[in-house]
Structure 1
Amino acid sequence: MRKGLLFILMLMLAGFLAACGSSNEGESSSDSTGSEEASDSKWSEIQEKGEIVVGTSGTLFPASYYPEDSDEMTGYDVEIMREVADRLGLELKFEEYGVDGLLSAINSGRIDAVINDMEVTKARQEQFTFSEPYKYSYSTMIVRESDLSGIEKLEDLEGKTHGGGATTVFSQIAEHFGAETKTYGNVTNDVYLRDVENGNTDFIINDYYLQSLALKALPNIEVQLHPDLKFHPTNSAIVMPNDASQMKEEIDAVLQEMREDGTLTKLSEEFFGGKDASKKPEADIREIEGLEL
């Protein structure tokens, strides 16, 4: 029985895995014919077995998680993948991995794809194939209510302490502006928030939607979203092997159908408190220059 996971927010959702090199993707020919054959082979394999195996964490609220007192995994990402598989006429099997193991599981061939609020980055695009985005967001920052942790702009992060995962995009952003990152194990979100409240850390960078939900779930902790800082626009997509262009084409077509018929909007509003994360935000969001992700 999975309990107490309803408000878990693992601050690791965009961790870049340096160990996941393209060498594990398989030996593909440099000519176009070889590439096309590899692509067709992956999709043909999935069709032949009639099943797609997808990796997810099961601990990332509200993308992939177990509601309290339930053994049935759900979440925005999980329900999107269920709908995609159904429309493709495939059985769906989820395999659960820690965030740091998801991309390596694709490389090893243990799974066919990953869906876990995985951010599309240039570095990852060199190693993997991504679907069209199903979620658009940006980064925000949780700070103390009393003084905004002394932060007015991103340049004020120098010398301050960030709470997060060691391998995340969010920690890279914090360290780019001169902050140190205090890392955690597998802890619930209230631990992160209370450390900001009591001064053990100064701020937490993470996804806007996830941080909004975390604060709503834990209203008694005296922290808040920074009112002025919106930065690093992000896209989340389904991750596939580097040679899976046919698979991408099939999945993209279904995602487009789901966008046009309102399914993505409906699922987003269900899991993100009435907000539509399937559409690009209209806010003025700062791009961070000089940071290679």
Structure 2
Amino acid sequence: MRKGLLFILILMFSVVLAACGTNENEEGSSENSGSDNAADSKWSEVQEAGELVVGTSGTLFPTSYYPENSDKLTGYDVEVMREVAKRLDLELSFEEYGVDGLLSAITSGRIDMVINDMEITESRKKEFAFSEPYKYSYSTMIVRESNLSGIETLEDLEGKKHGGGATTVFAQIAEHFGAETKTYGNVANDVYLRDVANGRTDFIINDYYLQSLALEALPEIPVQLHPDLRFHPTESAIVMPKEAATLKEKVDETLNEMKEDGTLTDLSKEFFGGQDASKKPEADIREIEGLDL
């Protein structure tokens, strides 16, 4: 409303203003200042608190999880976030949510940001700000060892049951090809895998690195990665409020430093079995057409 009134007043008095020699840049400067203040407010809030409050699941091996017999949260994403906070000279605390509750926790203001292998998508970018990517990958799927769950191509997903979170990109892909998604709360990987093995679900679409390592950790469950299906190249980033431009700038600068000095590579190799997920993969990966993500 205020901007609309200002616009009308400028039109009405443009000749007078010009005659008086008023500099139009003063008004523009005022509006830019308001925009800058909005961009800086989240960063100022974080600085005043001296702490970043970050949402993660705590159940996603090897990015955000508790090692067996340990009560210390760790994982690739967790350690990336710890290093970012350290370099920004901020304390760090994690709040744990189910996958479907992470983004809403940003919207409600309960947390400052999310790190949980969260993929950058066009639809999410309409509501949230994303950092520079700290991980590159692609999607694949876990199926039964006995018969690959009857799946040879993505088109064979029609009528099958997919296990995953309702709001994930992976559920969108599954449903795009005609599958039904069985949703879960904040449960560990073995629950998902056993449901595929016993036929409650048929497949799980997820990140290649996460799935390959989950299978290594649970070799007794008779499931496997599909040998032929690689699709949907992905970039994972830290998610922040849409208006948090200054906070995003600080985080981006830090992540770029960590790329340049090899920290991201070292952390990736530590948690992804020697593989460097901080760089784009060179595999032949199918792009999915007709799906607006």
- Mapping 1:255-270, distance limit 5 Å: 255-270=255-270
Report the 3-state secondary structure (helix = DSSP H, G, I; strand = E; otherwise coil) of the residue aligned with 2:258. Answer: helix
Change (3 A) 1:191 1:97: closer
Which whole-Å CA distance do the structure 2 matches of 1:93 and 1:201 have between them?
A: 35
Give a deviation string over 1:7-59, Cα, whole Å, max 9, x none.
Answer: xxxxxxxxxxxxxxxxxxxxxxxx64432211112212222332222222222
Secondary structure of residue in 1 paired with 2:92: strand
State whether residues 182 and 201 of structure 1, in contact with CA within 8 Å, keep that contact through their aligned partners in structure 2: yes
2:142 counterpart SS class:
strand
Q: TM-score, normalised by structure 2?
A: 0.84
Quick one: distance in 2 between partners of 1:191 and 1:93? 27
Aligned to 1:107: 107
* Structure whose alpha-carbon radius of gyration is higher: 2
Q: TM-score under structure 1 normalisation?
A: 0.84
Separation in 2 of the partners of 1:147 and 1:114?
A: 37
Cα distance in 1, alignment partners of residues 201 and 111 from structure 2 = 37
The runs of at least 4 consecutive aligned structure 1 residues that moved more than 4 Å come to none
Deviations 1:242-282 (A, max 9, x none): 11111111111110110011100111111111111111111
In terms of mean alpha carbon deviation, does 133-142 or 173-182 score higher?
173-182
Alignment size in residue pairs: 263
* CA pair 188-54 structure 1, distance change in 2 beyond 3 A: closer
1:204 is aligned to 2:204:
yes
Confirm or deny: 8 A CA contact 1:35 1:243 kept in the other structure.
no
Structure-2 separation of matches of 1:239 and 1:291: 22
Distance 2:194 2:263 in 1: 36
**Aligned 8 A contact 1:85 1:91 in 2:** yes
The amino acid across from 1:150 in the alignment is G
Instruction: Provide, for residues 101-124 of structure 1, a one-character-per-residue CA deviation record: whole Å limited to 9, x for no partner.
Output: 222221222221111111111111
SS in 1 for 2:139: strand
Is the CA contact 1:76–1:268 (under 8 Å) kept in the aligned structure 2?
A: yes
1:95 is aligned to 2:82: no
Amino acid at match of 2:65: Y
Write the letter of the residue equivalent to 2:78. Answer: V
Counterpart residue number, 2:68: 68
Q: Please report the RMSD computed on the Cα atoms of aligned residues, expressed in angstroms.
A: 1.6
Match of 1:274 in 2: 274
Contact 2:98–2:186 (CA<8 Å) still a contact in 1?
no
Query: Percent same amino acid among aligned pairs?
Result: 80
| Structure 1 gap ranges (5+) | 1-30
- Structure with the larger helix share: 2
Query: Which residue of structure 1 aligns with residue 194 of structure 2?
Result: 194
Q: Is 1:116 matched with 2:116?
A: yes
Amino acid at match of 2:40: D
AA matched with 2:251: I
Q: Please list the CA deviations of residues 190-230 of structure 1 after superposition, one character each: whole Å capped at 9, or x if unmatched.
A: 33223323333222111111110111112222221111110
Paired residues of 1:133 and 1:235 also in contact (CA < 8 A): yes
Q: Contact 2:100–2:165 (CA<8 Å) still a contact in 1?
A: no
The amino acid of 1:167's aligned partner reads: T
Contact kept, 8 Å, 1:62 with 1:272, in 2: the verdict is: yes
**Separation (CA, whole Å) in 2 of partners of 1:160 and 1:98:** 24
What is the match of residue 148 of structure 1?
148
